[in-house]
A and B are shown apart, each in its own frame.
Chain A
Amino acid sequence: MPKPALHTQSNRPALRATRLHKVYGSVIAVDDVSFTVNRGEIVGLLGPNGAGKTTTINMVLGVLAATAGNVEIDGIDISKQRARALARTNFAAVYAALPGNLTVMENLKFFGLLYGIPSLRLRVEELLQEYDLAHLRHTKCGLLSSGEQTRAALAKALLNRPQLLLLDEPTASLDPSAAQLIRAKIKSLAALDHCGILWTSHNMNEVEAVCDRVLFLSRGKVLLEGNPRTLPHEHGSSTLEDLFIRVAREPLSTIAEAAR
């Protein structure tokens, strides 16, 4: 059964990033990046290391101020109404583990209060069951296996039934079976709860299986955008992985030329 979202749904995109720029001194980390993530859509944000993926995600999360451009979550400008916008989003990332000195349940209650979740006890119980964490509720997060930590981080990311979910390599540390289960859960989340999902991964098979649309970032720019299943052929590559390698290795101008 689809669960009711905390916020009323509208036809606005879950995320609209408009002409985002981020400059550090003389380095342009993100250069005029615009994209949307619609409700119920899973968008893959791809690119080699240093392409600007994490910088873009950090700007969407409000922990990094854009030099120019703006981010709207469910139509709310994050620079103007930060708390309202962030109440509608959540994230899980390998580099942002839950505090290891709190148990799984303590972490969920702590973050549940930060997000102002109503009926928190029920919601925590629901997530503990859903992510097979019930038997680990009193275990400190620092003692969990990496797979269990990923499940705990996902449970935290879904506490507020976000309208926009940012996932930075959510299956990176999972075995193939666990990864498949997590992918299925995330896909159902998009389909049933109409959550927009921005997903970064270096596993191109996974991206092809999960994402409805992908954006290729290279050197801070959106280079290519399209369906992950047809995009490789449109650009003379046999697989998404081949296309990724070309984007990573070839000069920006060559790919951009091919894209025209």
Chain B
Amino acid sequence: MKLRPIAGIVLRQIYLLRGSPVRLFPMVTWVAIDIVLWGFITRYLNTVSGSGMNFVPTLLGGVLLWDFCTRIMQGVATAFLEDVWSRNFLNLFASPLSISEYISGLVITSVLTSSVGVVVMVLLATGVFHLQFFSLGLPLIAFLTVLFVFGISLGIFSSAIVLRLGPASEWLLWPLPALLSPFAAVFYPLAVLPHWMQWVSRALPPSYVFEGMRALLAGRPFPGVLLVNGSLVAVVELLLAAYFYGRVYRHAVRTGLLARYSAESVA
């Protein structure tokens, strides 16, 4: 892998943001709305609940972490869709750029764009709703890494779906995080799910992360097994997503899909 082509993919996104700052708006707005909405819900729950339980870390922390994972996925997918929308595939893939360089560029772009949203979320959640986000220390970093890797896998997988099925299939990828969220057990323990849903949850790294975070907040010992299992599932899924993208790309080169990819090319 060469660094300059990767830098090119990242620089393109910076140019797009510079040329049209309005693109920053959705990066910030939705996460801010989520934090404000859930912030007030948790505040209300704290006042009406007689249990003495503080809902801020469990609910608001859950929203923040799930949004982080979703932003990473959307960052990868949006950077990919920029090439779909500008019909740039022929120019890109007739250059010496390799698939691994392209995907690396998308991932770095996603890190940069999603970090804008994450900063806004953390500032709002800590400043307005007093979420002590960093009080969990190192375990938080470890769990965030698992969510980051899963977000990348999801972004690569959904980009491959759009490459395979055509531009109109981008509407399949936006609801993907919402579709997965009941299984990710963001707001409730895994045990409340029916048995079959728990099986699906075990294939999703976020379910390990949220179980682990709840254990930490409840003052139980560090859930090392959950972290290890979540990390393993996340790495396997990242490899599978990269393999799937490679297969779809090779299929597109073999069948001519890549060469004639346009707004009308839904197969």
Q: Which of A106, A114, A115, A156 has the most CB of B within 10 A?
A: A114
Mask for B6-25, Cβ within 8 A of A = 1, else 0? 01110110011001100000
A113 with B94, Cβ < 8 A, contacts A58-B256, A97-B87, A140-B19 known: no
Residues from 163 to 205 in B contacting A, C-beta threshold 8 Å:
none
A109 with B95, Cβ < 8 A, contacts A63-B259, A96-B90 known: no
Q: Is the C-beta of B88 less than 8 angstroms from some C-beta in chain A?
A: yes
Q: Which of A55, A91, A111, A113 has the most CB of B within 10 A?
A: A113
Q: Is the C-beta of B254 less than 8 angstroms from some C-beta in chain A?
A: yes
CB distance from A80 to the nearest CB of B (A): 14
Residues from 3 to 22 in A contacting B, C-beta threshold 8 Å:
22
Q: Is the C-beta of B86 less than 8 angstroms from some C-beta in chain A?
A: yes
A156 to B95, CA, bound (A): 11
Question: Secondary structure at chain A's binding surface: helix, strand, loop or mixed?
Answer: mixed
A86 to B93, CA, bound (A): 9
B residues near A100, Cβ cutoff 8 Å: 86
- Is B88 touching A63 in the complex (CB atoms < 8 A)? no
CB distance from A2 to the nearest CB of B (A): 24
Q: Which of A62, A101, A140, A156 contacts B93 (CB 8 A)?
A: A62
A118 to B16, CA, bound (A): 24
A63 with B98, Cβ < 8 A, contacts A103-B19, A109-B11 known: no
How extensive is the interface on chain B, given as a class?
Answer: 20 to 34
Q: Is the C-beta of B228 less than 8 angstroms from some C-beta in chain A?
A: no
How extensive is the interface on chain A, given as a class?
Answer: 35 or more
Top 7 closest pairs, chain A to chain B, by CB = A113-B8, A99-B86, A61-B94, A83-B96, A96-B90, A58-B259, A114-B95
Q: List 28 A-B contacts (CB under 8 A).
A: A22-B256, A24-B256, A58-B256, A62-B94, A63-B89, A63-B90, A63-B259, A64-B253, A64-B258, A65-B254, A82-B98, A84-B96, A87-B96, A96-B90, A97-B87, A101-B16, A101-B20, A102-B16, A103-B15, A103-B19, A106-B15, A109-B11, A110-B11, A110-B12, A114-B4, A114-B97, A115-B96, A116-B2
Q: In the complex, given contacts A96-B90, A115-B96, A156-B91, what are 11 additional A-B residue pairs having Cβ atoms less than 8 angstroms apart? A: A24-B256, A61-B94, A63-B258, A64-B253, A82-B96, A82-B98, A99-B82, A102-B16, A106-B12, A109-B11, A116-B4
Chain A residues engaging chain B, CB cutoff 8 angstroms: 22, 24, 54-55, 58, 61-65, 82-84, 86-87, 91, 93, 95-103, 106, 109-116, 140, 156
